[in-house]
Amino acid sequence: MKVALYHNLPSGGALRVLSEYVRARRREHEFELFAPTSASDFFGIGGFVPTQWIEVPGGTGLLADYRKLRAVPRFGREAARRIDAGGFDAVLATASFLTQAPEVLPYLRTPSLYFCPEPLRGVYEKEREPFTANPKTAAKRAVRAAYDRRRVRFDRRAVRKATAVAVNSKYTRRNVRKVYGVASDVVRHGVDTKAFRPGRTAREPFVLSVGALHPLKGHQFVIEALGLLERSARPRLVVIGDRGDYGPELARLAREGGVRLQIRKGVSDAELKKAYREASVFAAAQVREPFGLITLEAMASGTPVVAVDEAGLAETVRNGKNGLQVPRDARRFADAIGRVLGDLKLAKRLAEAGRRDVERNWRWDAAAEDFDRLLAKVARKSR
Ranking 78-82, 213-217, 301-305, 345-349 by mean pLDDT, the lowest is: 213-217
Q: Is the pLDDT of residue 140 over 80?
A: no
- pLDDT one-digit tens code per residue, 159-213: 999 999 999 999 999 999 999 999 999 999 999 999 999 988 889 999 999 998 9
The pLDDT, as a whole number, for residue 48 is 83
Give 68 or 382, the one with higher predicted confidence: 68
> Hey, where are the domains in the chain?
2-190+364-380, 206-361
Per the prediction, the chain carries an average pLDDT of 90
The pLDDT, as a whole number, for residue 42 is 65
> Can you tell me the distance from the alpha carbon of 148 to that of 94, in angstroms, rounded to the nearest whole number?
19
- pLDDT one-digit tens code per residue, 89-101: 999 999 998 899 9
Closest by CA to 178, choosing from 288, 321, 45, 284, is 288
Give 281 or 147, the one with higher predicted confidence: 281
Give me the phi and psi of 91, to 5 degrees please: -115, 130
The pLDDT, as a whole number, for residue 128 is 46
Q: Which contiguous run of DSSP H or E holds residue 138?
A: helix 135-161
- Identify the architecture of domain 2-190+364-380 in CATH: 3-Layer(aba) Sandwich (3.40)
The pLDDT, as a whole number, for residue 129 is 45
Q: What percent of the chain has pLDDT over 90?
A: 71
> Can you tell me the distance from the alpha carbon of 161 to that of 104, in angstroms, rounded to the nearest whole number?
10
Confidence band of 130 (pLDDT split at 50, 70, 90): very low
Strand order in the sheet with 324-326: 261-264, 236-240, 206-210, 281-284, 305-308, 324-326
Region 251-270 average pLDDT: 93
Region 76-88 average pLDDT: 96
Confidence band of 150 (pLDDT split at 50, 70, 90): confident
Q: Is the pLDDT of residue 60 over 60?
A: yes
Closest by CA to 371, choosing from 52, 90, 175, is 90
Closest by CA to 112, choosing from 134, 84, 137, 135, is 84
Give 142 or 242, the one with higher predicted confidence: 242
Q: How far from the centroid of its chain's Cα atoms is residue 120's Cα?
A: 13
Give me the phi and psi of 130, to 5 degrees please: -70, 135
CB environment 86-118: b (16+ within 10 A), e (fewer): eebbbbbbbbbbbbbbbbbbbbbebbbbbbbbb
The fold for domain 206-361 equals: Rossmann fold (3.40.50)
> Can you tell me the distance from the alpha carbon of 147 to that of 381, in angstroms, rounded to the nearest whole number?
35
Q: Say which residues have a Cβ less than 8 Å from residue 99's Cβ, sequence separation at least 6.
A: 8, 69, 72, 151, 154, 155, 158
> Can you tell me the distance from the alpha carbon of 362 to that of 93, in angstroms, rounded to the nearest whole number?
22
> Can you tell me the distance from the alpha carbon of 234 to that of 232, in angstroms, rounded to the nearest whole number?
6
Region 146-166 average pLDDT: 92
Ranking 29-43, 139-153, 194-208, 309-323 by mean pLDDT, the lowest is: 139-153
| Mode of pairing for the β-strands spanning 164-167 and 185-186 | parallel
Indicate if 206-361 has the same CATH topology as 2-190+364-380: yes
Radius of gyration, alpha carbons of the chain: 21
Q: Is the pLDDT of residue 133 over 60?
A: no
Taking the whole predicted model, whether its pTM rises above 0.85 is answered as no
Q: Is the pLDDT of residue 7 over 50?
A: yes
- pLDDT one-digit tens code per residue, 290-312: 998 899 999 999 999 999 999 99
